[in-house]
Structure 1
Amino acid sequence: MILYSVFFLGLSVVMSLQFEISDYTVSLQRAEKYLFQYGGLILIVLGSIGCLLSWIVFSKKTLRKNSCSIYMMAFHIANFTYIITLILPSVLSIGYGMTFITSTLGLCRFSIYMAFALDIISPTCLVLASIDRILVTSPNALTRQKSTFRLAFRSIICATLFWILFHSHSLILMHVIQIALSTFICYTQSAVYLVVISYYSLLKNILIPTLLAGLGLLAVRNIRKIGHNRVVPDATTMGTVNDRGLQSIHSKDRQLVRILLIDIGIYVICVYPQTAINLYQQITQYDTKSFDQTQAEVSIQYLCSFCGFIPYCIGFYSNLIVSKTFRNEVKNIFLCK
């Protein structure tokens, strides 16, 4: 959770000033710093380049004819914005000790607001793309016709506007709070608001990966049905328009389905550790804990947060592995074709 990460960062600083730090704790803190210093920098550089190249690939003429490419373009635009507005400040703060979001109240509220909104907009694009793949791989011709460019644009615009308005509460209820002599955090002063957004974040981290996994399985089921229809055609319908349509779908869209499935798989794998630690923190929030135990939880929280950054940064490189069409388009970009 975003607020947990911010709070634990401030709590770690305060407790390190009040308690004697053990060698174990010092090692954990050093590991956190190096992870974000070097690993975080690599994610930012590779992720930014990958998002821009992915957007260019999906905007190419050969791919933009497919409605799924519209969703994937929006997905990578959201990922690039997420990298700049959330991952970069986190790396600067944890890895390099350069915390600037608490310098002004406006920047504090804007940073938390963008973190809330982008954290859900990006997976929402995957959800919409999954629904599109389910429609286009359906054996029913009428269902396939529901996948259109107009629906793609409308869905992305409506979903983005909804989440932008839904998270506007953070522009009002977040404050810069001083927790030590020279330590400030961007947090909320309302206990009720904290409980609400904590459970909302936990619920979101459970439902979104589960929904994506379910939609991905439905798309795979449709593809298998199409493959079965191609291999074992019915003699009474062989050569009909519907059968030719199924073959065309399988050949045309399987590359995009592969890309989508690998993006879903990476997102689900990387988000569930964050969900697990958030659930643990909710259960044990009233337990008495030693400083070393608290610091261990902080370290695990940072590690899970770092894992949660990965899906936003490596989509381009996983697409290169699973899709021949994607590789060819990237090659054409570098060859200026």
Structure 2
Amino acid sequence: MSDDIIQRLPAISLQLNRIVPIFQIIFGTIGNILNILIFTRRSLRSNPCSIYFLASSINNLFVLYVATLTRLLSSGWKIDPSNSNIGLCKLRIFFVYSSTALIQWFMVLASIDRYLSSCQNARYRQISSLSTARKAIGLTILIIGLAHFHTFIWWSVDYIGAKTYCNIFIYDYEIAFQIFFLILTCAIPPILM
């Protein structure tokens, strides 16, 4: 019985890779478009925290169509131009990882803004402004982009057997990259929230 399940796991995985991302894209698109419509309302445009959530919703749409859609095509349907084109490989990896990191960091900015706006000290409350929000969003995008620039250097397209793949082919960098991603995206943002 267990051998039968083990043999069927690849087929189950393939079906999940074909079905689940479609729902993620559909419902994610609807949810993020609704968020954008809400956060661009006149009453919320003057709230700095709304600007962070607006930036996050726009970034989430980008993640849906760059990361989730390309993964659906790659894992579910075996369509992946980034496996044969080094430029697409590097661009896809850069945008997938940097935009995924931005999701967390925009929430950190919103949390910091909420803290500043509720402080008893008037100086801290003054920091919470639309101007600060716009600058913080731009600076965060710049820093995250620069922090992920190394993907242009170390990711490549190469043969594994008879097929080409977009991957890291240097083991030491692969370990360093996983640690970097874990710290930058998974460890630091929750601590700062």
Fold similarity call, TM over 0.5: yes
| CA deviation string 1:278-337 (max 9, x = no partner) | xxxxxxxxxxxxxxxxxxxxxxxxxxxxxxxxxxxxxxxxxxxxxxxxxxxxxxxxxxxx
Separation in structure 2 between the aligned mates of residue 203 and residue 26 of structure 1, nearest angstrom: 36
- The residue number in structure 2 matching 1:104 is 85
Matched, 1:190 2:176: no
Return the index of the structure with the highest Cα Rg: 1
Matched, 1:207 2:191: no
Separation in structure 2 between the aligned mates of residue 88 and residue 172 of structure 1, nearest angstrom: 24
Q: Secondary structure at the match of 2:159?
A: strand
Separation in structure 1 between the aligned mates of residue 172 and residue 34 of structure 2, nearest angstrom: 43
Q: Secondary structure at the match of 1:204?
A: helix
- 1:32 touches 1:94 (CA, 8 Å); kept in 2? no
- 1:123 touches 1:208 (CA, 8 Å); kept in 2? no
Separation in structure 2 between the aligned mates of residue 143 and residue 153 of structure 1, nearest angstrom: 17
Where does 1:284-303 land on structure 2 (aligned, <5 Å)?
Answer: none
| CA deviation string 1:22-58 (max 9, x = no partner) | 5333322122122221211011111122212211210
**Distance verdict in 2 for CA 1:193–1:114, change over 3 Å:** same
One-letter amino acid of the counterpart of residue 26, structure 1: Q
Structure 2, unmatched stretches of 5+, are none
Q: Percent identity?
A: 29
- 1:44 touches 1:83 (CA, 8 Å); kept in 2? yes
Separation in structure 2 between the aligned mates of residue 56 and residue 205 of structure 1, nearest angstrom: 27
Separation in structure 1 between the aligned mates of residue 144 and residue 100 of structure 2, nearest angstrom: 10
One-letter amino acid of the counterpart of residue 83, structure 1: L
Residue 37 of structure 2, aligned match among 38, 53, 56: 56
One-letter amino acid of the counterpart of residue 26, structure 2: V
- The residue number in structure 2 matching 1:114 is 95
Structure 1, unmatched stretches of 5+, are 1-21, 216-337
| CA deviation string 1:245-285 (max 9, x = no partner) | xxxxxxxxxxxxxxxxxxxxxxxxxxxxxxxxxxxxxxxxx
- 1:124 touches 1:159 (CA, 8 Å); kept in 2? yes
Superposition RMSD in Å: 1.7
Residue 130 of structure 1, aligned match among 111, 131, 135: 111
Q: Secondary structure at the match of 1:187?
A: strand
**Distance verdict in 2 for CA 1:80–1:209, change over 3 Å:** same
**Distance verdict in 2 for CA 1:82–1:70, change over 3 Å:** same
One-letter amino acid of the counterpart of residue 52, structure 2: Y
Residue 54 of structure 2, aligned match among 65, 73, 84: 73
1:209 CA displacement = 5.2
| CA deviation string 1:128-182 (max 9, x = no partner) | 000000111223343222211111011000110111122111112211121122x
| CA deviation string 1:61-114 (max 9, x = no partner) | 011111111101110111111111111011112222222221211101111111
One-letter amino acid of the counterpart of residue 198, structure 1: Q
Separation in structure 1 between the aligned mates of residue 58 and residue 188 of structure 2, nearest angstrom: 19
Matched, 1:170 2:151: yes
- 1:109 touches 1:171 (CA, 8 Å); kept in 2? yes
The normalised TM-score by structure 2 is: 0.91
Separation in structure 1 between the aligned mates of residue 55 and residue 97 of structure 2, nearest angstrom: 17
- The residue number in structure 2 matching 1:148 is 129
Q: Secondary structure at the match of 1:184?
A: strand
| CA deviation string 1:167-203 (max 9, x = no partner) | 111112211121122x222112323322211211222
**Distance verdict in 2 for CA 1:208–1:23, change over 3 Å:** farther
- The residue number in structure 2 matching 1:93 is 74
The normalised TM-score by structure 1 is: 0.54
Higher relative contact order (CA 8 A, sep 6+): 1
Where does 1:209-248 land on structure 2 (aligned, <5 Å)?
Answer: 210-211=190-191, 215=193
